Structure 1
């Protein structure tokens, strides 16, 4: 059974299905939740560019979990003196979608 699970996981990874992010849905979430007021893909606005976030966390195996925490609870001091506000009203699934999407935006 474990061999079958590993084989299935390997096939999903090879096909890209395990890490597929619906970019259009993520962009819509970012628009609807005010993310794009402070962030953009390639340029710093108030907060860092998403590509800079990707660069900072690209070697961190827990990057998505770290970003989920920052989105949900806010953060301060990671990118300067301006804090990121929390987003407690967003669903865990939407927050995870945004975090995974941010990690796809390369410099």
Structure 2
């Protein structure tokens, strides 16, 4: 799965996605406080991004499900501690970060 450019509108499933560097995706995650609760390779308050990628590996519905989870928040998947909603986060930024996470959160 390729990473989608930040701020880009919805892309058809068969349309080529513009690549975003892992550094850009990580910067978006930092800018939106994702790194306060998540780390790439270890559990903090929430699961690591790599744990998330492993849990949803092969799940075609994972991108939409995780985009909604980031936007709306929720609890119960990884424990009782709730994930806050990020309703002010740009939808393109959400897609970029989710794609990067599901790709295994590569650093390069």
Q: What band does the TM-score fall into relative to the shorter chain?
A: 0.7 to 0.9
Superposition RMSD in Å? 1.7
Q: Cα 1:64–1:21, aligned 2, differ >3 Å: closer, same or farther?
A: farther
Q: What's the TM-score once normalised by structure 2's chain length?
A: 0.78
Structure 1 or 2: more helix by fraction? 1
Unaligned runs of at least 5 residues, structure 2: 1-13
Deviation at 1:19, TM superposition (A): 7.5
Deviations 1:13-33 (A, max 9, x none): xxxx64744211111111111
What secondary structure, in the 3-state scheme, does the structure 2 residue paired with 1:42 have? Answer: coil
Aligned partner of 1:38 in structure 2 is 37
Aligned partner of 2:87 in structure 1 is 88
Query: Following TM superposition, where does structure 1 have runs of at least 4 consecutive aligned residues deviating by more than 3 angstroms?
Result: 17-21
Q: What's the TM-score once normalised by structure 1's chain length?
A: 0.79
**Higher Rg:** 1
Length, aligned pairs only: 92
Query: Is the counterpart of residue 53 in structure 1 residue 72 in structure 2?
Result: no
